[in-house]
Amino acid sequence: MQNTKQRAENILTDIIEKIQLLTASQQRFLQEMLSRHEKISFVTKRSLLRKSFGIWAERKDIKDSIEYVDEMRRGWEERSQRIEI
């Protein structure tokens, strides 16, 4: 089993190899995108969950959330069964 440091080094090596395969213009574009990168503040999972609560409350196509989710799950199960056959 690899430790965390080895995995991180492997990921970094893989990224560098992939960047080297890019064309010069693609590398410049990537460099520009990374230079504009702004530091993202740390947000807790709980805070994100609170912010997302009720985002579908105004939807007119979802009348009963339990029924809606059950219907979605039936669709997933049907697709899963078709794939296994």
Q: What is the pLDDT along the chain (85 residues), one digit of tens a residue?
A: 568 888 888 999 999 999 999 999 999 988 888 888 766 666 777 887 787 777 777 778 877 878 888 888 888 888 777 787 5
pLDDT at 45: 78
Predicted local distance difference test score (pLDDT) of residue 14: 92
Give me the amino acid identity at 26: Q
**pLDDT on residue 16:** 92
Helical H runs in the chain?
4-20, 24-35, 45-52, 65-84
CB 68 within 8 A of CB 62: yes
Predicted pLDDT at 39: 64
Amino acid 20: pLDDT: 93
